[in-house]
Amino acid sequence: MIFETGHLYHIYNQGNNRQRIFFKDENYLLFLRKMREYIIPYADILAWCLMPNHFHIMVYVNKLEINRPENQTTDSLSQRETIGRREVICIENKDSKLRTFNDSIGFLIRSYTQAINKQENRTGSLFKSHTKAECVTKTEGITPSYFNTSFGSQINVRIPEEEYPIVCWNYIHKNPVAAKIVDRAEDYEYSSYRDFIGLRDGKLINKNRAKEFGII
């Protein structure tokens, strides 16, 4: 993935062979905690949606790399996560003091996979091998089939650059409706839509940043 500061990106991945990645309510909550730990230091989150077998996150990138303190424990020592009654220890090792945004997303995916593999008594990859990130504020990098993916509905239109953030934001939040999981976006618990319309006071999203792009 190639990121630039000052731009919006749509980050997404799905289960390997389209398998489930979330099995229990606490799995969704674990992934959200990891989003806070691994994404917020680098980027503002403008939208997110966790589907049973894939996820979508829309971010505004503030930093490309961070110099980690010598005493930071989440990389070289054990990180403990609780899933149900099981305590899972996720080991992450990285010699470099600099952690890039790409590195951090990789840690998110790997540490979550380790926890779920322990919970489900499974081995191997949980996600597809490559997490995708598409810039939605640089139209030259977006193809006409940008949303024509296995993740959901198709949007094959060329529209002005300033409209892409709104299209992406709406697409992410309408995913559960398109998948016929719920009738209305506000009925789905595991997306940021409820936070934007005042039904919940979630702390992951940055509403001020969303306003800058005319999203709300």
Beta bridge partners of 100: 65
Beta bridge partners of 49: 56, 191
User: Token pair for residue 23?
Assistant: 């099995």
Q: What is the pLDDT of residue 67?
A: 86
Question: Domain 8-212 classified CATH 3.40.50.9100?
Answer: no
Q: What is the pLDDT of residue 164?
A: 85
Angle, helices 101-120/25-38, rounded to nearest 10 degrees: 160
Q: Rounded CA gap, 70 and 104, in Å?
A: 17
**Which pTM value belongs to this model?**
0.81
Alpha-carbon Rg of the chain, whole angstroms?
Answer: 17
Main-chain phi, psi angles of 133, to 5 degrees: -140, 115
Q: What is the pLDDT of residue 149?
A: 52
Q: What is the pLDDT of residue 146?
A: 44
Q: What is the pLDDT of residue 216?
A: 81
Q: Rounded CA gap, 66 and 99, in Å?
A: 5
**Mean pLDDT by 10-residue block, N- to C-terminus, for the chain (216 residues)?**
94 95 98 98 98 98 84 43 42 64 96 97 95 86 46 49 83 96 98 97 95 90
What is the SS3 assignment for 39-54? Answer: CCCCEEEEEEEEECCE
